[in-house]
Amino acid sequence: MMRQYELVERVTRYDPDADEDLLNRAYVYAMKAHGNQKRESGEAYFNHPLEVAAILADMKLDDATIAAALLHDTVEDTGSTTQDISEKFGPEIAALVDGLTKIKQLDRVTREATQAENLRKLLLAMSRDVRVLLVKLADRLHNLRTLEWVKPEKRARIAQETMDIYAPLAGRMGMQLIRDEMEDICFRILNPDANKIITDRLSRLHQESGNILLEIEQELRRTFEEKGIDANVFGREKRPYSIWRKMERKHLSLDQLSDIFGFRVIVSTLDECYRAMGLVHRRWRAVPGRFKDYISTPKQNDYRSIHTTVVGPHHMRVEMQIRTKIMHEIAERGVAAHALYKDTAEVKQADSGAREGTAESSAYRWLRHLMEVLQEGDSPKEFLEHTRLELFHDQVFCFTPKGQLIALPRGATPIDFAYALHTSIGDSCVGCRINGRHAPLVTQLNNGDEVEIIRSDAQTPPPAWEAIAVTGKAKAAIRRATRAAVRKQFAGLGKDIVSKLLERHKVEFSDKALAVAVPRLGHKNSDDALAAVGRGELSGVDVLKALGIAVDEKDVRAAKRKAPLKAGKEGASAIPVRGAAAGSVLRFHRQTGAVPGERIVGIITPNEGITIFPIFATALEQFDNQPERWVDLAWGTPEEGQRFPARITMELINEVGSLAQVTHVIGELGGNIDELTLQKREGISDFFDLTILVEVFDNRHLNDIMNGLKGKSSVNKVRRVTG
């Protein structure tokens, strides 16, 4: 276990102005708080926060972050409270510890929901202070290093969660060293056979290629020295999980990979990056299509480097990454290094060139974008889904007609592009031009595409877009717009219900009066209350009571059943009925169906819309005590050839060809069989019960079919199913 003075010395070595007293007090407080607690390995629990602090000290973080690392489990696993930490160490450190404290007592049904809530809290805390993330990642990394002491099923769960969330999150924030170690540990746990095959193969390749790699390294050094470039050249080997992921993504064998071994060239200035690239390309032939300039177009996690692949000695393909020292630090340590270099001329130059004068890190901008999704009120499951989408995709870079750069996940469409610009642009998008040509909104965008969005104020995003969109922001916005449209429909339906009830009491509907009554109904505003009525969550009679109107529910129910038909607005549904609010979701009662010519009523079904029943349906009896759910409907004008469902049942004599007679009659008279059930009567071998869901044009057409069936010798009885 690291001693107290050793930790302090490690921090003061890179930060002489560090608060030694703070570090000493945090060390002692955490050690006493954890007391005799043990980890699953049997070692003292305090060793864990101490190792987390050591990881962060290696990243050269400030004294407050080191103190928070020492204290990060005290609120969660000991009797300490956030208030205790605030009083003893100040609000800054208390806020860091609170952001790291897991949500233990949430009433969540699934592990996924708990995981999503914990991630929400972590990301919210990160948005206020990114040091929360640094401590959390160091905490997870040390837990992974000691996973051999954990039960196999828990070990696999922690490894999978790390692969799903924490490793990609580290990558998004530019912390590649931590991401690589996390992925390799988890890969070893989740897929040990593949890991062994790749590591064994890497070992053999290293032995076979060792002399060639040394030769390339020496030749690169000589080339740069001759041209006066002070460059640090060193070889690098692709990590096992990175190799596996590329093999899966590109369907390649290990022998087909060309970039298992590569070199990093670290120079002093931006100019030397491009000079070094030119020297390499003059010395060896460049491989077409393998050049990427992430200096002029950085990745979203602030990664900047020049990538190129050349055919080196012995016809060996060699990948090179050329970058400055600052770029290298940020590539390895991400946001942990960015703060150390934020005042340097190089970073300022990059910020002004790539981000239009803002000195904000791209990683922080991605985090702020994620917070927008979080604050839109999505469910925990949706938020977790969207976060995973944002974490995992590679990128394409596209441009607006004015030259603004938009980074999107690979596979993104113009819909994603529109929402990346602004939610209102996505909501009003009706088309696009890609590189000056009209293109479908389902088109996948490529690097360098110029995308122009065509808009219309009359447009609302259709729900089907959610399946097309790739980004979490677009999916969340589409889902939100769909919910708003459905809510608007239910609010209109609720208003119709309340208006009809008020009309029976000779009272005119008033928005002002309803607004006064809303608090008594437990809703924020009138629209919420009316939407609740439309969904069937709130009784229309309760609204009348809140308005101070005496209601006789029995009289209202009776009047509802005997009310004359009224023509209303034509619904947006393909079902031709009148009396439903415009845009209402309509469906037929499954057990009976309904056809033009029959008297019909609607029943509001929560979260599903209106179910259409024929007036004789016995299922309506269950709604007798819920008059506010009834809607008077009338048939409109069907489209030519439009069919409607009706369920009929008959007694069929058990003889050869009887079923054929039935289907022949229905077909001959122009009906269509949608569903057929044949059941032998228990204890009676001579008869079957045959039930058919038949599609017909109207009530007359249905009667013709039923009369035709009655005329067949094999059919004993025919009747309409009443539910």
- Please write the tens of the pLDDT for every residue from 161-190: 888 778 888 887 778 889 999 999 999 999
Lowest mean pLDDT among 197-201, 503-507, 711-715: 503-507
Does the pLDDT value for residue 352 go beyond 50?
Answer: no
Assign 356 a pLDDT band (cuts: 50, 70, 90): very low
Q: How far apart are the C-alpha atoms of 534 and 530, rounded to whole Å? A: 6
Lowest mean pLDDT among 33-42, 254-263, 278-287, 537-546: 254-263
Average pLDDT value for residue range 529-539: 75
What predicted TM-score, i.e. pTM, was given to this entire model? Answer: 0.55
- Of 15, 20, 62, 77, catalytic: 77
- Going by C-alpha positions, the residue among 231, 236, 235, 253 that lies closest to residue 244 is 253
Tokens matching residue 181: 């170690």
Domains and CATH numbers, the chain: 4-190 (1.10.3210.10), 203-354 (3.30.460.10), 362-480 (3.10.20.30), 486-635 (no CATH), 644-720 (3.30.70.260)
Lowest mean pLDDT among 93-97, 354-358, 544-548, 618-622: 354-358
H-helix or E-strand spanning residue 153: helix 152-161
3-state secondary structure of 607: coil
User: Which residues have CB under 8 Å from 658's CB, separation 6+?
Assistant: 652, 688, 714, 715
Contact 719, 650 (CB under 8 A): yes
Contact 428, 511 (CB under 8 A): no
User: Which residues have CB under 8 Å from 458's CB, separation 6+?
Assistant: none
- Going by C-alpha positions, the residue among 416, 421, 410 that lies closest to residue 441 is 416
Contact 690, 678 (CB under 8 A): yes
Q: How far apart are the C-alpha atoms of 421 and 400, rounded to whole Å? A: 9
107 catalytic residue (yes or no): no
Q: How far apart are the C-alpha atoms of 302 and 678, rounded to whole Å? A: 67
356-384: b or e for each residue (b if 16 or more CB lie within 10 Å)?
Answer: eeeeebbbbebbebbbebbebebebebbb
Q: How far apart are the C-alpha atoms of 445 and 381, rounded to whole Å? A: 28
Contact 165, 387 (CB under 8 A): yes
Assign 384 a pLDDT band (cuts: 50, 70, 90): low
3-state secondary structure of 25: helix
The percent of residues in the chain predicted with pLDDT above 70, rounded, is: 82
pLDDT at 570: 34
Q: How far apart are the C-alpha atoms of 264 and 246, rounded to whole Å? A: 20
- Going by C-alpha positions, the residue among 596, 599, 576 that lies closest to residue 586 is 576
Does the pLDDT value for residue 633 go beyond 50?
Answer: yes
Q: Tokens 């949500």 correspond to what residue?
A: 103
Residue 317: count other Cβ atoms within 10 Å of its Cβ: 17
**Cα dist. 594→448, 590, 621 in Å?**
55, 9, 17
Average pLDDT value for residue range 288-296: 88
Q: How far apart are the C-alpha atoms of 343 and 351, rounded to whole Å? A: 11
Does the pLDDT value for residue 558 go beyond 50?
Answer: no
Average pLDDT value for residue range 215-231: 90
Contact 307, 289 (CB under 8 A): no
User: Which residues have CB under 8 Å from 449's CB, separation 6+?
Assistant: 396, 398, 399, 434, 435
User: Which residues have CB under 8 Å from 693's CB, separation 6+?
Assistant: 593, 645, 646, 647, 673, 674, 675, 676
pLDDT at 253: 72
77 catalytic residue (yes or no): yes
Assign 50 a pLDDT band (cuts: 50, 70, 90): very high
- Of 6, 9, 21, 76, catalytic: 76
Q: Tokens 């990059």 correspond to what residue?
A: 350
pLDDT per residue over 669-694, tens digit each?
A: 888 888 888 887 765 567 888 999 99
251 against 271, higher pLDDT:
271
C-alpha neighbours within 13 Å on the C-beta side of residue 279: 20
Strands laid side by side in the 429-434 sheet: 437-439, 429-434, 451-455
Q: End-to-end distance of the chain based on CA atoms, in angstroms?
A: 75
pLDDT at 391: 54
Contact 237, 217 (CB under 8 A): no
Does the pLDDT value for residue 541 go beyond 90?
Answer: no
pLDDT at 90: 93
125 against 386, higher pLDDT:
125
**Cα dist. 448→79, 397, 401 in Å?**
56, 6, 12
Report the 3 state secondary structure along 497-555: HHHHHHHHCCCCCCHHHHHHHHHHHCCCCHHHHHHHHHHCCCCHHHHHHHCCCCCCHHH
Average pLDDT value for residue range 474-483: 83
Assign 379 a pLDDT band (cuts: 50, 70, 90): low
Contact 666, 694 (CB under 8 A): yes
Q: Tokens 């990160």 correspond to what residue?
A: 126
Tell me how far apart the 2 most distant CA atoms of the chain are, in Å. Answer: 105
Q: Which residues pair with 695 in a beta bridge?
A: 645, 672
pLDDT per residue over 454-471, tens digit each?
A: 998 888 888 888 888 888
Q: How far apart are the C-alpha atoms of 579 and 586, rounded to whole Å? A: 11
pLDDT at 270: 92
C-alpha neighbours within 13 Å on the C-beta side of residue 287: 16
The percent of residues in the chain predicted with pLDDT above 90, rounded, is: 29
pLDDT at 595: 94
Tokens matching residue 34: 């954890």
Average pLDDT value for residue range 7-31: 92
* Average pLDDT, rounded, for the chain: 81
Does the pLDDT value for residue 473 go beyond 70?
Answer: yes
Tokens matching residue 7: 């930790």
**Cα dist. 534→526, 586, 593, 607, 625 in Å?**
12, 13, 23, 9, 17
C-alpha neighbours within 13 Å on the C-beta side of residue 123: 30
3-state secondary structure of 437: strand
